[in-house]
Amino acid sequence: MPAPEQADQVWTGGITYIPTNHGWLYLAVVIDRVQSRGISVSGCFILGFDSHTSDVFPMIDEFVRSSGLAEVQCRVLTPSR
């Protein structure tokens, strides 16, 4: 994802890789390691940002299926009053 050029330009992003003491690890590997120690990892995805296109659905589906999350929630972004 390109870096934002000004404030409030990028509101969403994907975290696929995270830094560790041993380099970068794919998030699904980290989830697997945590859950193998008896700790459940849940995922919550908020849909409906202006930057979202229909491509977001297969991307979330692929991540959920490959990550082994114990629970998945999807929420629709609603405007504040």
Q: Report the pLDDT value the prediction gives residue 75, as an integer from 0 to 100.
A: 92
Under DSSP, the state recorded for 6 is: S
Residue 53, pLDDT > 90, answer no
Task: State the pLDDT confidence band at 1, using cuts at 50, 70 and 90.
Answer: very low
The model's confidence at residue 14, banded by pLDDT at 50, 70 and 90, is: low
Contact 66, 31 (CB under 8 A): no
CB 47 within 8 A of CB 74: yes
Q: Is the pLDDT of residue 10 over 70?
A: no
Mean predicted lDDT score pLDDT of the chain: 78
